[in-house]
Amino acid sequence: MPLIRRGAPEAPANVKDDRDSFALLTGGTDGERWGAARAAATLPGGVEALGAALRSETDARVRTAILTSLTRVATPASVDAVLPCLRADDADTRTGALDALRAMPRAVLPRLPDLLSDADTDVRILSCEIARCLAPAEATSLLCDLLDRETDANVCAAAIDVLAEIGQAGAEPALRRCAKRFPQQPFIGFAVKVALQRVSVQADDAG
Amino acid sequence: MPADVPPVTGEEFRVLCEFLYRRTGMVFTEAKRYYVQRRVTERLQATGFTSYAHYFARLRADSGDEIEQLINAFTVNETYFYREEHQLRCLTSDLLRERIRTKPRGRPIRIWSVPCSTGEEPYSIAIWLLENWPEVDAYDIDIVGSDIDTQVLDAARAGVFGKRALMHLPPRLVNQYLEPLDGEQWRIVEDLRQSVSFSTVNLVEMAETRAHGRFDVIFCRNVLIYFDDASRRLAAENLYENLEPGGFICLGHAESMSRISPLFDVCRYADAIVYQRPMEGARG
Amino acid sequence: MAEDQKKRVLLVEDAGLVRMYYREALQGAGFDVDEALNGIEALEKLLTAPVDLLIVDVNMPQMDGLTFIRTLRRQTPAIASIPVLITSTESSPQDIHAARIAGANFYLTKPVGQEQLVLHARILSGCVA
């Protein structure tokens, strides 16, 4: 078997010098921006540079790399750098931001109460989705508070979906009250019915 | 089933199914309820929980390696020669043909098996290519097996296997590529052992993955499914860099890129679904 | 409908309860229903077995609905030509416009009732029943 051989020579991965990283982050080719975005997570001032690059980046894969670097840092500052993307017009940017925020649950938790009270309905819906990554007790408490004040059926539906997956039995009263407030929405009635069955089999503590 | 663990209720079954579906993409229908119940009950017994509710809470808290243990209970996580043969068929019938179409002459074909565990997969790839790829003599082929665990790598380098590992390898190939040590064990012949190289790698460590260079095809089975969201993102980007533009990555049969990363294009071939790093300048 | 004449629908939607609600309505109306959590899983399923209609959400993890439709429309004709019904919470004219540009055939704003869903599914899948 002479034709399978060990350790063929290989080209090294195309990695740019860190000194150029911040300049390349917004000014390079797709490949250079990708490399710079990946390098920035470990550089001083990286979060600010990544946040700025995120605002102007148009390539979906480079944007994913920027978001991943921000999730590696996972601080309140990196969460704040991602949050404006939740309000983006294009669905791809919103989806990318949501996935990134869900990958840093500890850092995003302090921002969630404000997000769940945002004036923008779409932001509240997406914020319910962020709660999916939280511990069941935290998610249950935040989403039940939301259900009791929320007037938009779609926001309630998003919260109920998350509660049906991870909510605890303590969510039952808020779910029942919500169903009563939307008698004209058959989907809310359906969703609450299923969610009540689901939360009944969840433990009330994280034991 | 022990008396202290009650049968799983319909709702408990659906909660668990939704959890596994969302996280892994694995689908269990009502017809599989008994099978699922047996596996979950085994995990309850192993962890000392007496209620599903508290077990689910532990799963969601992602503490320890319980998610890995549970997924293991649903996937036969045993490694043996010619496992998932359909992917090997896909490799020679489609993936390599596609790769050599755009590859400059003289450049080696590089294939990465990661994690390679005790070596069954990289040796299977080598044997499969020698047996099934007509172009095997026309190219330099570099097969690398990598794992985070140095103990399994020592075993892989030694290349000694028992009957169970060889059960799907036709006897003719066992005779050709392995030599008997005693009645119970066989060793990969020297030439074949020399043709596969082994290395340590942690898939979330960028410097370690980059040191391995770029590959035409990566077999990355049954590891990403266990990572949390943050690690999946990092590992997927590392693997993306480890692929030549146009190169392919194959996941395990219970895994789907839909739960891992948006970076790759989905490709359907006759024998398998695989994922491709787009060619440079391609749309997407 | 006889089994072999059943129209096949793929629900591409990340909310589990919405998938259940839609599935209940569509199965009750004689459709054969499968599900995907996001655009990538939907592509995996379509490349294995095409369907007669896609019902697609917009905001989903890993691959959103509009990126999915743009990718779908670049596939081979058998898959690229599958009609798409979007159901989304986003209700502004620019959202609907963006969906049309991406290649959606029709757009319903959530919450969508079961009768409304079945009616549109019948029309878009070419169901005469």
Check C36 against B258: CB less than 8 A apart.
yes
**Distances A56 to A40, A85, A117, B217, B265 between C-alpha atoms, Å:** 16, 11, 27, 33, 24
B99 phi and psi angles, rounded to 5 deg: -65, -45
Question: Where are the domains positioned within chain B?
Answer: 10-74, 85-276
Cα radius of gyration rounded to whole Å, chain C: 13
The yes-or-no verdict on residue C29 having pLDDT over 60 is yes
* pLDDT at residue A5, rounded to an integer: 54
Q: Identify which of C16, C59, C114 has the shortest CB distance to residue A161.
A: C16
Tokens of B241: 């860099």
Burial annotation B172-203 (CB, 10 A radius, 16+ → b, else e) = ebbeebbeeeeeeebebeeebbebbbbbebeb
Q: Judge: domain C3-124, CATH 3.40.228.10.
A: no
B interface mutation test: which of C24, C40, C72 has the most B CBs within 10 A? C40
Structure tokens at B14: 């659906």
Stretches in chain A below the pLDDT threshold 50: 1-3, 8-16, 206-207
- Mean pLDDT (chain C, rounded): 94
Q: Report which of B126, B122, B59, B132 is spatially closest to residue B94, judged by C-alpha positions.
A: B132
**Is pLDDT at C91 greater than 90 in this prediction?**
no
The answer to whether B282 and B267 are in contact (CB under 8 A) is no
Mutate one of C17, C20, C64, C71 to test the A interface: name it (highest A CB count within 10 A): C17
Report the complex ipTM. 0.94
B10-74 in CATH: which number? 1.10.155.10
Judged by CB atoms closer than 8 Å, whether chains meet at C15 and A60 is answered as no
Residue C41 and residue B256: Cβ atoms within 8 Å? yes
Per residue in B14-61, pLDDT (tens digit) is 888 888 898 888 888 888 888 888 888 888 888 888 888 888 888 887
* Average pLDDT estimate for C19-36: 97
CATH fold for domain A15-103: Leucine-rich Repeat Variant (1.25.10)
Going from the C-alpha of C31 to that of each of C8, C24, C50, the distances in angstroms are 6, 10, 14
Q: How confident is the model at residue A8, as a pLDDT?
A: 44
d(CA B242, CA B240): 5
Q: Report, as an integer, the average pLDDT of C99-112.
A: 96
Region label for B189, one of left (φ > 0), alpha (ψ between -120 and 50) or beta (otherwise): beta
Query: What DSSP designation does B107 have?
Result: P
Tell me whether residues C67 and A153 touch, CB distance under 8 A.
no
- Per-residue three-class SS string for B177-197: HEEECCCCEEEECHHHHHHEE
B85-276 folds as Rossmann fold (3.40.50)
Q: Does the CB of B194 have a partner CB in chain A at under 8 Å?
A: yes
What is the per-residue pLDDT for A4?
Answer: 53
* Cβ of residue A90 closer than 8 Å to a chain C Cβ: yes
Q: Is the pTM of this model over 0.90?
A: yes
User: Could you give the residue numbers annotated as active site of B?
Assistant: 39, 147
CA distance B268 to B231: 26
Per-chain mean pLDDT for chain B? 91
Residues in chain B where the model's pLDDT stays below 70:
1-4, 62-64, 76-77, 281-284
Boundaries of every domain in chain C: 3-124
pLDDT at C68 (0 to 100): 98
Task: Name subunits touching B (3+ CB pairs < 8 A).
Answer: A, C
Cβ B11–A197 below 8 Å, yes or no? yes
Alpha-carbon distance of C8 to B259, in angstroms, equals: 24
Question: Which chain A residue's Cα is nearest to B215?
Answer: A10
Please name the member of B129, B194, B213 whose beta carbon is closest to the beta carbon of A6: B194
pLDDT at residue A6, rounded to an integer: 52
Task: Please tell me if residue A125 touches chain C, with a CB cutoff of 8 Å.
Answer: yes
